[in-house]
Chains A and B, each alone.
Chain A
Amino acid sequence: MASAIRLEGTAVPRPTWRHAYLTMTGWDLAGLRLELPLIVVVQILSGIGFVLGIGLFFQRIPAQVALYVSTGVVVLNLILVGLIVGPQNTADQKLAGTYEYLRALPVPATAAAGAWFTVALIASLPAAVVSLVIAELRYGISFTITPSIVPAVLLTAFTGTMLGYALSHAIDDPMRTRLIAQMLVFFVFGFSPILYPASQQPPWLATISWWLPFEHMATIVRAGLTTGVVSGIGRSYLIVAIWGIVGTALSARAVGRRA
């Protein structure tokens, strides 16, 4: 009688979520060790560039315009890493074969995503702070920072990162990922009412903008930095959160499916 074959190996304990998260954060930081300082510097410079550059469009910049630009730049700083650098980085990993290797690691998908969110925040926050300081110096705006800035910043960065994460994992072809990421930058920079109120867009474009997360990200961040400028904050939180959930769901579907 043939005995059942028993496979035995050394039992390797599964890493805890916390351990996996910390290891993956370390991995992501190490993987970007050359690019990260450059990304931070480019973010800071582009933030300063927008704050100072838009001021030149006017003989004398209206206070409202200055306020919108300086608070909007924070949003751009918060989402660009997640939305652009993330997909680019994943595209590189796919080409190098690192992507398959990472997916084979015994790391919960949520820990990997959480780690990338942390890294995106680390790369974004310095620029956001510098942009605000420069705006304060240049335009003499005194921001009224309220505690709601914390959830606003976290939710904005989270939604931006998860949308980028979904983009990078759901699309197989790295070149297409890159192209879509580039188009997204163009659209977000040019046609989203982040640096200016939506009322300055043609009505049809403003309607589209209303359904997208970017205008609402600006609203909630602005609400955390000013008083009496924006309204409808609860609705904006809801829309950004919905987009964050959509991004997470799409990412989960893409990461969870078997190749």
Chain B
Amino acid sequence: MNAADVARVPGPGLGASGAPRSGPLRWFRSVGLMLRFDAGRAREWAAMMAIVQVMMGAGMAITYGFFYPVITPLVALYIVTGTPTLALIPLGLVMVPIGVSQQKVEGTFDFIWSLPAPRTAQAASTFLLWTALSIPGLLVAVAISAWRYGVTLTVTPAIVPAVLLCALMAISVGFGMALAIQNPIIVNLITNMLVFVVLLFSPIVYPISYLPTWLADVARFLPFYAMAQVVRAALTTGIVTDLAHWYGVVIAWTAIGWGLTAWVVGRRR
């Protein structure tokens, strides 16, 4: 055995390539590798996704305005500051579940699970990538909406954590739901119903005081109003109160999404 051979023998705890076989280091390395893998595949649909987001986000924002005989500054402000939420909900609740369903049908899903990367790292990569990809469409949607209603927004630095957290939450909930429900057709049905109900009955583009009490209570518990509150707080002053509470609701729903994901990826089939 010469010196060159010795150098090729991996140290304890390292795989054949010299990479760590377990521990946090391996997990982070796996996330990085999965990100590269996912980003490569995302090149096919990322642009399409941004376009759909702009159409849904800006389109909904413009459409809502048509219903008002007179658009007061308050109505305009509510619609414009609700636009980021409008651009995130279809993404998390429709596009993510559809993406997962498609992967399941094509077999890509099983292939990814068979890769030698921890499944939590695979999920983390999905969350990170989708969150990053959701931002361009969102920005364009908000710009169109603000221009349409002539609203000048007072953007505070809080918008960065607000939007990132809300995007992460919407994606986590959509992903967890798509994973937990086995049948793609049922996922499709549920997401479509959900988006319709959410976009019509959630106080995203109007004050929650317009809702009947019981519906307002339901809305306070669900993630959509909380999302709108968190984002609105970062774009306005004096409208949103009790901000910490709404952050708490969004974080709780993110945890629910992760919990569902962990529950599904943790069990063997």
B60 within 8 A of A: yes
Kindly list chain A residues whose C-beta atoms are within 8 Å of the C-beta of B64. 57
A195 closest partner in B (C-beta): B67
Query: A57, B210: Cβ atoms under 8 Å?
Result: yes
Question: Given A49-B197, A56-B201, A190 and B62 touching (CB < 8 A)?
Answer: yes
**Candidates A46, A58, A201; contact of B196 at CB < 8 Å:** A46
A64 to B60, CA, bound (A): 22
B144: min CB distance to chain A, Å: 13
* Bitwise interface map of B from 197 to 209 toward A, beta carbon under 8 Å scored 1, else 0: 1001101011001
Complex interface: chain A residues within 8 A of B118 (CB):
none
Q: Is the CB of B210 within 8 A of A200?
A: no
Q: Does A237 contact B (CB under 8 A)?
A: no
- Chain A residues with CB under 8 A of B32: none
- Contact-size category for B: 20 to 34
Which chain B residues numbered 205 to 234 have a C-beta less than 8 Å away from chain A? 205-206, 209-211, 215
B68 within 8 A of A: yes
Q: Do residues B201 and A53 form an inter-chain contact, with CB atoms below 8 A?
A: yes
Closest Cβ of chain A: how far from B75's Cβ, in Å? 9
Q: Is the CB of A54 within 8 A of B63?
A: no
Residue of A46, A56, A191, A200 near B69 (CB, 8 A) is A200
- Prevailing SS type, chain B contact patch: helix
Cβ–Cβ < 8 Å partners of A186 in chain B = 55, 59
Asked whether B211 lies within 8 Å of A196 as measured between CB atoms, the reply is: no
Within B61-115, the residues touching A (CB, 8 Å) are: 62-64, 66-69
- Residues B201 and A57 in contact, CB atoms below 8 Å apart: no
Least Cβ–Cβ distance between A62 and chain B, in angstroms: 6
Chain B's nearest CB lies how many Å from the CB of A192? 10
Task: Report if A196-B67 is in contact (Cβ < 8 Å); known contacts: A57-B210, A186-B59, A190-B59.
Answer: yes
Contact assessment for B68 and A200 in the assembled complex, using a CB-CB cutoff below 8 Å:
yes
Q: Is A193 in the interface zone, CB < 8 Å from B?
A: yes
Contacts of B67 in A (CB 8 A): 54, 57, 65, 69, 195-196, 200
Rounded to whole Å, the gap between the CB of B44 and the closest CB of chain A is 16
The answer to whether A193 touches B66, judged by C-beta atoms less than 8 angstroms apart, is: yes
A10 at the interface (CB under 8 A from B): no
Given A57-B205, A195-B67, 7 more pairs with CB closer than 8 A: A49-B196, A58-B210, A59-B209, A190-B63, A191-B66, A200-B66, A200-B67
A-B contact pairs, 16 of them (CB 8 A): A49-B197, A50-B200, A56-B203, A56-B206, A56-B215, A57-B64, A57-B206, A59-B209, A69-B67, A190-B62, A190-B63, A191-B62, A193-B66, A195-B67, A200-B66, A200-B68
